[in-house]
Amino acid sequence: MNLFRSRLHFLIDQLSEEELAGMWTVLSELYCDLYMLRAIQASKRTFKPGDTLTQEEATQLLASL
């Protein structure tokens, strides 16, 4: 892992401020996607019948709120 870390630091040092700003946008979106993917995978492992709503049930619940 330290090898990747040192390579990444080297690459970051080579980028301009504008390139870093653009990369930050991309990396933050990737981080959010990864966070959501992990949450979805975790929910699939703990899924039980009855944990989800059908489209009709969800619509009725939203209408009642």
Mean pLDDT, consecutive 10-residue segments, the chain of 65 residues? 91 93 94 94 79 84 86
Enter the pTM of the model: 0.55
Residues contacting residue 21 through CB under 8 Å, at least 6 positions apart: none
The number of folded domains in the chain is 1
Q: Is 15 part of any domain?
A: yes
* Contact status, residue 53 vs residue 45, Cβ threshold 8 Å: no
Q: Is residue 30 part of a domain?
A: yes
What is the per-residue pLDDT for 54?
84
Structural domain span for residue 43: 2-48
Whether residue 62 lies inside any domain: the answer is: no
Which token pair is 59? 């619509």
Q: Do the domain assignments include residue 63?
A: no
